Amino acid sequence: MSQKTVLLIIGGGIAAYKSLLLIRKLQQRNISVRAILTRAGAQFVTPLSVSALTGEKCFTDLFDLTDEAEMGHIELSRAADLIVVAPATADLMAKMAHGLADDLASTCLLATDTDILVVPAMNVRMWHHAATQRNLAHLRQDGVRVVGPDEGEMACGEFGFGRMAEPDEIARAITNYFADTQRGGPLLGKHVLITAGPTHEPIDPVRYLANRSSGLQGYAIAAACAEAGAQVTLISGPTNLTVPEGVDMVRVQTAREMMRACEAALPATVGIFCAAVADYRPKQKAVEKIKKEKGGMGEIKLSENPDILKTIANHPDLRPELVIGFAAETEAIKSHAVTKKKRKNCDWIIANDVSSQSAIVGGVMGGMENQVIFIGGEQGDGKRDPKPESWPPMSKQQVAARLVQKIIDHFG
Ligand code: C5P
């Protein structure tokens, strides 16, 4: 890849220190960085640290006449191959969504036709506020890419979504962007959202409820979609697998985290729900490890988890154009899958036999091979009977390749 330049806009948030690490990570990937520090950003990191790391002047003020003579804000934003806003505060995102331009950062963002990637970082309540979510949806519709935020402890002491993504994750998303734009491929311009792996539902700090899913099938589909040129967001429960090349990864533990991460990743052209989501979670998570001496586990009461596939397939305004579900069954596979397809409102469903009688040696869950029944159907034609196709036993990579070919054919 020829050397690329990123214009990094550092907004005002405690996470700004991570942007300094990001500069290093990008340089290690042969990406040069030029930076703008907003007035609020300069409260958290100094222009001196930024310019020492980028090896260039750090741009801070719209009305600096020397810079305007040397390099106008329009030139500054257009000279970059990608603009990255990190941390993207609620305020910066609101300005972007509404086209405000009252300082150097917002003016550059408005004056450019270069692609933009935002990395939100804010308090959990600000993130979930309807106004921020509206602005986020606006930005996504304008073609802005989004990385994160993560869920976790926040500097303000609260817990939840709003932590800025880690520098490695952001650097990977930036590299993926450059790879996507160079690679081309039949799914270029399509955003594919994929869930994979099991979910872990905590009982106490050390124990959890889970299932045997390895995540292999979902990861193979993610890799095949990326290879076909799609922008891929893989939302994965805990697995031991390596992140496929060219895939933006969101790691979660529980079904509810997976649900929120899927909603945050919308809009997507295609949604593929491969995860073996735990249907139930312990009603309460014990704060301390439950001790045998103190009466042990007793009864674990369960609450139902959200059905992610069904929720996204019935989303009022952001339903992906093509929604694909999986159905792991142990008997009456075809008929259960057909019923499930209707019940969950998905367009296609892929059913597999996870019973001990399955023809796959070693079993499907956790194994390398799969044998599936593919049930398609015409888009928007719920009444027509789907024609099930039984695919022979094959590797999970081959199932992925065949599915991706179907997706490519579907979009013509
Ligand atoms: O109902 P069942 O678990 O058999 O449905 C399987 C399909 O639904 C899979 O595509 C799985 O990823 C999805 N699913 C989900 N959320 C759940 C349960 C299942 O997305 N809570």
CB atoms within 10 A of CB 152: 11
Q: At CA 98, angle to CA 92 and CA 99, rounded to 5?
A: 85
Q: Is there an atom of ligand 1 within 6 Å of 321 CB?
A: no
Distance 374 CA to ligand 1 centre (A): 16
- 166 burial class (0-12, 13-18, 19+ CB within 10 angstroms)? middle
pLDDT (tens place) for every residue of the chain, 412 residues total: 678 999 999 999 999 999 999 999 999 999 999 999 999 999 999 999 999 999 999 999 766 656 666 667 778 888 899 999 999 999 999 999 999 999 999 999 999 999 999 999 999 999 999 999 999 989 988 989 999 998 888 777 888 889 999 999 999 999 989 988 887 899 998 999 999 999 999 999 999 999 989 999 999 999 999 999 999 999 999 999 999 988 999 999 999 999 999 998 888 999 999 999 999 999 998 888 888 777 777 888 999 999 999 999 999 989 999 999 999 888 888 889 999 999 999 999 999 887 766 666 556 666 788 889 999 975 445 555 567 899 999 999 999 999 999 999 999 8
Q: Cis peptide leading into 267, omega within 30 of 0? A: yes
Q: What is the pLDDT of residue 287?
A: 86
Q: What is the pLDDT of residue 183?
A: 75
Alpha carbon distance 203, 212 (integer Å): 17
Residue 109 corresponds to which tokens in the numbers above? Answer: 């963002």
Alpha carbon distance 120, 211 (integer Å): 32
Q: What is the pLDDT of residue 386?
A: 67
Task: Check: CB of residue 128 under 8 Å from CB of residue 263.
Answer: no
Of the listed 58, 156, 274, 346, which one is catalytic?
156
3-state secondary structure of 195: strand
Q: What is the pLDDT of residue 380?
A: 46
Q: Is there an atom of ligand 1 within 6 Å of 308 CB?
A: yes
Residue 213 corresponds to which tokens in the numbers above? Answer: 């899913």
Q: What is the pLDDT of residue 160?
A: 81
Alpha carbon distance 65, 70 (integer Å): 9
Distance 66 CA to ligand 1 centre (A): 59
Residue among 87, 77, 90 at smallest CA distance from 21: 87
Q: Is there an atom of ligand 1 within 6 Å of 325 CB?
A: yes
DSSP conformation letters of 60-93: --TT-HHHHHHS-HHHHHHS-SEEEEEEE-HHHH
Buried-state track 304-322, b at ≥16 Cβ within 10 A, e below 16: ebebbbbebbebeeebbeb
Q: Which amino acid is residue 191, in one-letter code?
A: H
Q: What is the pLDDT of residue 264?
A: 86
Residue located via tokens 């979609």: 225
Q: Is 156 a catalytic residue?
A: yes
Q: Which amino acid is residue 94, in one-letter code?
A: A
Alpha carbon distance 119, 166 (integer Å): 10
Q: Which atom of ligand 1 is nearest to the CA of 195?
A: 12
Q: What is the pLDDT of residue 8?
A: 98
What's the distance, CA 59 to chain centroid? 31
pTM of the model: 0.81
Residue 401 corresponds to which tokens in the numbers above? Answer: 């390749």
Alpha carbon distance 102, 110 (integer Å): 10
Pocket test for ligand 1, best of 273, 341, 364 (most atoms within 8 A of CB): 273
Residue located via tokens 């690490």: 21
Pocket test for ligand 1, best of 201, 277, 311 (most atoms within 8 A of CB): 277
Alpha carbon distance 175, 229 (integer Å): 14
Q: What is the pLDDT of residue 172?
A: 93
Alpha carbon distance 184, 293 (integer Å): 61
